[in-house]
Amino acid sequence: MAPSFLNFKELRRRSRASFRTERSTDTSGSSDASNGTTPTTGSLTPPSITQSDLDLNLQVKEKDQAPSPPLALASAQTRPPLQSSSNSNRYSVSGMTGLGSPASSGKGPALPVSQYSPRITNVVENSWVYQKVLLVYGTIGEPSQQSVDGTLTVSRLDDNFAPISWPVCNSHFKALVYMMPGANRLRFDFASPKLANSGSSNPIHASYLTVHMLPPINAPPLQLAIVLAKDSPGTFDAVPARIEREGNGLDTAIRKFRMAAYLWQSFTAEQMWRNKLGRRTFRFEEEWTAGTANQRDREYGTMRSEARVHIIRTEKTLAELRDLDRAQQNPNAKDQGALYGIAADAVKDYFKPLPGQKLYVSVLLLDSHWDIKAKTVTAHAALGGGTGDLQLAIFGSHCLQSYPTSFEEVVPAFSDCTPTDTNFVCNDCTEAGSSWEAANIGIGAHLHETGHLFGLPHRESGIMLRDYVTLNRTFLAREAYSTRTRSKGGPVLQADECTWHRLDCLRFRSHPCFRLPNDAVLNGDDSVHAWPVEGGNVAVTAATGVAYLELLGDGDDVCHHWIEYDSSVQRQVLLSEQELRSRLPEHQRKGKLKVSIKSHGGGELNIDDFGKLSSKESCFKLPSAVPGMGKLAFRGKKLGFSQMEGSQPQELVFPSAMRQDRVLYRIIVYHGLALDGLEFVYDDDSRQLFGKKGGKEGGDVFDMDIRRGEYIAGFYIRAGAWIDGIQILTSLGRRSPVFGNAHGGSGHTLIPPRGYTICGVTGSCGTWVDGFSVIICCR
């Protein structure tokens, strides 16, 4: 018998097991191991199916195939990124059919990358995003060397969303991608009649990208609502051809409004990313409904989780809304914001928010109508802002016919040069002379009002000026003829697009609607306060940290100059008037200086006259037994407007701050639904009253633990036009209840800056306390 090592059957069996491998064991030529370079981007050959997609792997098993790798291993092996390495040869693919085409099984040699495979420039492999619709852009080949036109087709490897095609102009492209929670594995194919293989079933000009999406459900949503009269037919203005083609009923309005909101969301996320603030954007409340984002979904009745559009009917009739609007357009009308109030009441009645629950709602007024005889749009208003806990924006539907209803219609909608027929629809502000310009005005101006909803003022540029007339450029590589500028249009690059202003982005960074799942938990107190201190400076305190300052010189209506602070939390910042004025133009340095201070928590404090706050008017000397030896005391920035009828200034200094033989041991708070007064009681039974003894009879008592040396460390104030409520904070960490209205106004924590202590209170009182601050001095 032959020796065991000559057993040829065993040798053959072992050699098959030994040599049948999924990859070479020779790593000498591996790009991963040479000089740390990254794999070539836009690879024509997708990674092995067993590495990139477990579901697809199950469909292509062979009898002798090795078992699939575990999920952890599969997820760790990612497909090549889309950025090409420095030593890759993108110009080596032959035009012959089949050469360089992706292998369906993911096996085989790594073939060269086509020079025309799309390069995504704003999203990298395995990026994380937090919105439904992602804007991507990039180039084909080398635009500086060779310019090509064609079509980019974006598809999902799992085919869970219809492939959508986007135009390529001068080697540049922009595309919208529908995101689903989890990993979104995408393929980008470029085709052009001038290139080989473009029309074949085996295209070679392809690249791949994986993007992970995580819905930020820890942030409050922006609600979308259509508001209409109680007897409204639920239609909007449109030309007959549009009505015949797509209808003008409520279902069409919902699809158009939803698609416009997706454009807002993708635009905002991209702007935040460009400002290096993360891909932050607002989210929408969603509902499980028939998908409308692409035409295939509508044809097949595919169900998806889409942005919900609430339908809200008012108590007003259609005739009442239109008559009311005609009256409003009279310059002498008393109530210019009646439609806003009607919409606000309808929204509150529909959502029924709980006390303290903040709502953010953007409303489309469906009954807006172009009155041909009066040459005006009735039942329309463009307003945004806040009323209590409701942040509301409203805009009419007079441009709605021009909006896209799905991804496939975005480019056609923003390229449609059909003249506006004023026999049926309006030419808004004479800037909507064509269909695509009407889409810009409607979608962009509504986004402008939504910006006001989020607390944005007007700006020197961007959406919050009127730059939304070029909103289309964000989504197009080529602009069509413009009736507004009478220009023929042409290629559009990033520098030509409209933007959110840098200050808008900084504001969004701190807004609760823009929070990301991995954001650190912030202090619940978002307030900011300013304190005059020694040296003519002002100390600014904020529990969440000071984010940035806006500086407005004399005569400025919008902010042109600002100071940003780094991402580290700076809870106290010292401001010098001279330093702030040095940032203004020479002709504004001696005028009135307004400073608006923003915290990382979203709070703000406006100082209308910084020079006055930092001047000697804000300080005085405390009385002392030794003449000339009294400490300097400083009055902090006042809360409340001090504008009630009969309001009188009041101020008192605690005797315990001037004498060693006096101790404050009790505070009596007089209140009802607002603060009426504070009575300070000392150990010798002497008393000081700030305000009045109103509200609850006898007031509420808060005792200090004088045996342990307890003293007032600060106050928590609820304030708006007056002082709604007050809470006492002590040096031992104790807090009194909030006396008065605990939910009125907004919250402000008054704790002196480091090195200072409270020595009195100041403010004003009318029917009740309508102004309040504290007096501080050095310890």
Specify if 321 maps to a domain.
yes
Confidence of residue 112 (pLDDT cuts 50, 70, 90): low
- The Cα 253–Cα 396 span in angstroms is 12
SS3 content of the chain, % helix, strand, coil (to 5): 20, 30, 50
104-113, 262-271, 737-746, range with the lowest pLDDT: 104-113
Pairing mode of beta strands 619-621, 664-671: unpaired
The residue out of 168, 187, 215 marking a domain boundary is: 215
374 and 495 in a single domain? The answer is: yes
Angle at 520 between CA 517 and CA 524, to 5 degrees: 110
Q: Which residues pair with 595 in a beta bridge?
A: 551, 607
207 and 264 in a single domain? The answer is: no
The residue out of 613, 644, 668 marking a domain boundary is: 613
Q: Is the pLDDT of residue 235 over 80?
A: yes
Specify if 647 maps to a domain.
yes
Query: Residue 35, exposed/middle/buried by CB under 10 A (0-12, 13-18, 19+)?
Result: exposed
Specify if 62 maps to a domain.
yes
Pairing mode of beta strands 223-228, 309-313: parallel
Q: Which long-range contacts (CB under 8 A, 24 or more apart) does 155-162 make?
A: 155/186, 155/187, 155/189, 156/184, 156/185, 156/186, 156/187, 157/46, 157/53, 157/56, 157/185, 157/186, 157/187, 158/53, 158/55, 158/185, 161/293, 161/294, 162/294, 162/295, 162/296, 162/297
640 and 692 in a single domain? The answer is: yes
Q: What is the mean pLDDT of the chain?
A: 84
Range of the domain at 228: 223-512
209-222: b or e for each residue (b if 16 or more CB lie within 10 Å)?
Answer: bbbebebbeebbbb
- The Cα 495–Cα 99 span in angstroms is 38
563 and 545 in a single domain? The answer is: yes
298 and 403 in a single domain? The answer is: yes
605 and 663 in a single domain? The answer is: no
316 and 464 in a single domain? The answer is: yes
Instruction: Write down the pLDDT at residue 322.
Output: 84
Give this prediction's pTM. Answer: 0.82
* H-helix segments, 291-374: 295-300, 318-328, 338-351
Instruction: Write down the pLDDT at residue 502.
Output: 97
44-80: b or e for each residue (b if 16 or more CB lie within 10 Å)?
Answer: bbbbbbbbbbeebbeeeeeeeeeeebeeeebeeeebb
The residue out of 185, 215, 245 marking a domain boundary is: 215
How does pLDDT run across 160-184, given as a tens digit for each residue?
999 999 999 999 999 999 999 999 9
Provide mean pLDDT across the span 301-305: 95
557 and 424 in a single domain? The answer is: no
499 and 391 in a single domain? The answer is: yes
Specify if 23 maps to a domain.
no
- The Cα 480–Cα 495 span in angstroms is 17
Confidence of residue 681 (pLDDT cuts 50, 70, 90): very high
- What's the Cα-to-Cα distance from 196 to each of 99, 100, 155, 276, 380, rounded to whole Å? 11, 12, 21, 39, 53
Specify if 124 maps to a domain.
yes
Q: What is the CATH number of the domain that holds 765?
A: 2.100.10.30
Is residue 449 among the annotated active site residues? yes
Specify if 33 maps to a domain.
no
Q: What is the CATH number of the domain that holds 145?
A: 2.60.40.10
Q: Is the pLDDT of residue 729 over 90?
A: yes
Q: What total number of domains does the chain contain?
A: 4
Specify if 94 maps to a domain.
no
The answer to whether 609 and 593 have CB atoms below 8 angstroms apart is yes
473 and 541 in a single domain? The answer is: no
How does pLDDT run across 622-679, given as a tens digit for each residue?
886 545 557 899 999 999 999 999 999 999 999 988 887 889 999 999 999 999 999 9
How many alpha carbons lie under 13 Å from residue 581 in its C-beta half-sphere? 17
Query: Residue 274, exposed/middle/buried by CB under 10 A (0-12, 13-18, 19+)?
Result: middle
Instruction: Write down the pLDDT at residue 326.
Output: 60
288-292, 413-417, 626-630, range with the lowest pLDDT: 626-630
Provide mean pLDDT across the span 535-557: 93
Q: Which residues are CB-neighbours of 560 under 8 A, at least 6 positions away? A: 460, 552, 553
Which member of 449, 479, 550, 604 is catalytic?
449
- DSSP letters, 184-236, are EEEEEEEE-TTSTTTTSSS---EEEEEEEE---TTS--BEEEEEE-TT--S--
Instruction: Write down the pLDDT at residue 506.
Output: 95
How does pLDDT run across 20-72, given as a tens digit for each residue?
434 333 333 333 333 333 333 333 333 333 333 333 333 333 334 444 443 33
Instruction: Write down the pLDDT at residue 188.
Output: 96
Q: Is the pLDDT of residue 99 over 60?
A: no
533 and 414 in a single domain? The answer is: no
Q: Is the pLDDT of residue 111 over 60?
A: no
Instruction: Write down the pLDDT at residue 200.
Output: 61
- 769: which 2 tokens? 């306390």
- The Cα 562–Cα 583 span in angstroms is 8
Specify if 713 maps to a domain.
yes
Confidence of residue 431 (pLDDT cuts 50, 70, 90): confident
Query: Residue 27, exposed/middle/buried by CB under 10 A (0-12, 13-18, 19+)?
Result: exposed
- The Cα 135–Cα 123 span in angstroms is 9
182 and 328 in a single domain? The answer is: no
